[in-house]
Structure 1
Amino acid sequence: MMHISELTVRFGGFTAVNGVSLEIPPGSVTGLVGESGSGKSTLARAVAGLTPYRGTVSGAERGRIQMVFQDPYSSLNPRMRIGDAIAEGSRKPRARHGAEVARLLELVSLPASYASRHPRELSGGQRQRVAIARALAAEPDLLIADEITSALDVSVQGAVLNLIRELRAELGLTMLFISHNLAVVRYVCDALAVMRHGQLVESGPVEDVLDAPRHAYTRTLLTAVPKLART
């Protein structure tokens, strides 16, 4: 069980995240939603160890929390071949890196031959698949997905979301899935947490939160969605 307890992030006199506590059960996907500036991405970066914070994050070793970012091109070294980028974070012996890279590429539905390519030779959706494979190479206890489809063409967003569902089922991934799209959250997540002004205002099973929200802010978010997709 991943435990986030009283996590607070301050930048000078500004409090970006204020005392957030959240549990993420193993093998589940917890969604995190809120308007731009609500603190959800800052919370994610703190949990991943990329931003200093106060509070505690337990249930995973340092390095066993991996993050996939919104823009796959900026998160990949343009001068590094795809295979090297994936192997860089692998926990396998160096002699097995080639086979492991091929396995991971296959896992995200890319040909093993892509290992010799550079990021510029791939589409946005393919680069995001590589970013996911690179994160999986570290055998994470928690995978954080931060708006991973928002920079992609609409035509490929669904394919990446389907991949996430398939990987979760096959690998038993534990995930924190950040999105502003409530229909996407309903499709991908088991539980949902809602942030506003750096604080957690509501959390619970995704269907409960979306179908019978308790907090006025959650209801406000829902009014902006004409109709939520159901699975």
Structure 2
Amino acid sequence: MNISNVTVRFGSFTAVNSVSLEVPAGCVTGLVGESGSGKSTLARAVAGLTPYQGTISGGERGRVQMVFQDPYSSLNPRMSIGDAIAEGTRVPRAQRPTEVAQLLELVSLPSSYAGKYPRELSGGQRQRVAIARALAAHPDVLIADEITSALDVSVQGSVLNLIRDLRTELGLTMLFISHNLAVVRYVCDAVAVMRHGRLLESGPVEDVITAPRHEYTRTLLDAIPRLAHA
């Protein structure tokens, strides 16, 4: 996917200012920055949820799926897990139960969970369901927007491990949004750093972390001593 000179404005406020970024096929590209940097707004533009100026190519609308930060609000409480996942599938109705079971197993949940409701699941389990629902559409690009920040620390690692496994198994192309460079380093192949709506630098994740070119990136690294001296 290629993002070229994308700008997002809300009235007189420019949330994303002429950002260009390549998201290579089969790779996980991290988008990192503090709250208000414009990273989530850019993600919503890529997903077709926010109007923008510029060009986004390589991921047709409907072929870009997004997993949101809050697993408690992203699922319909009145809809069973199986029905929620089946909404996104492209297979005939008769094949949907089998497809749903396979998707649940893909995110390490029992197929029997298809009959459960969101209130019966933990936060980590709900986020796994949200990932399965996004994968049901066989997206060209999967966007993960701060998908662990609302979860207990005890389950964050298991969800990140799932993302790594899915990348390997499915060859996913992913835009992974986080404020945490340690998380980005663990999950991503490349990283782009945003601040105040602008892209400051980008490149292979190890290159950016070991030899940051911008002072702001160094500030983010200094906030994580283990990374700064790795």
> Normalising by structure 1, what TM-score?
0.98
Within a 5 Å distance, the mapping from 1:149-168 to structure 2 comes to 149-168=148-167
In structure 2, the residue matched to 1:144 is 143
In structure 1, the residue matched to 2:131 is 132
1:187–1:230 Cα contact (<8 Å) kept: no
* Cα separation, 2, equivalents of 1:26 and 1:5: 16
In structure 1, the residue matched to 2:224 is 225
In structure 2, the residue matched to 1:175 is 174
Q: In the alignment, residue 134 of structure 2 is paired with which amino acid? A: A
Within a 5 Å distance, the mapping from 1:24-63 to structure 2 comes to 24-63=23-62
In structure 2, the residue matched to 1:16 is 15
In structure 1, the residue matched to 2:196 is 197
* Cα separation, 1, equivalents of 2:156 and 2:214: 29
Within a 5 Å distance, the mapping from 1:64-75 to structure 2 comes to 64-75=63-74
Q: In the alignment, residue 46 of structure 1 is paired with which amino acid? A: A
SS in 2 for 1:27: coil
Distance 1:81 1:230, change over 3 A: farther
Deviation string, structure 1 residues 132-189 (Cα, Å, up to 9, x no partner): 0000000000000000000001110000000000000000000000011111111100
RMSD of the alignment, in Å? Answer: 1.3
Aligned residues with identical type, % of pairs: 83
1:102–1:112 Cα contact (<8 Å) kept: yes
Distance 1:3 1:230, change over 3 A: farther
> Normalising by structure 2, what TM-score?
0.98
Q: Which runs of 4+ in 1 moved over 2 A?
A: 228-231
* Cα separation, 1, equivalents of 2:184 and 2:118: 28
* Cα separation, 2, equivalents of 1:200 and 1:181: 16
2:70–2:147 Cα contact (<8 Å) kept: yes
* Cα separation, 2, equivalents of 1:107 and 1:228: 31
1:31–1:179 Cα contact (<8 Å) kept: yes
Residue 223 of structure 1 and its aligned partner are, at CA, apart by: 1.1
Gaps of at least 5 residues in structure 1 are none
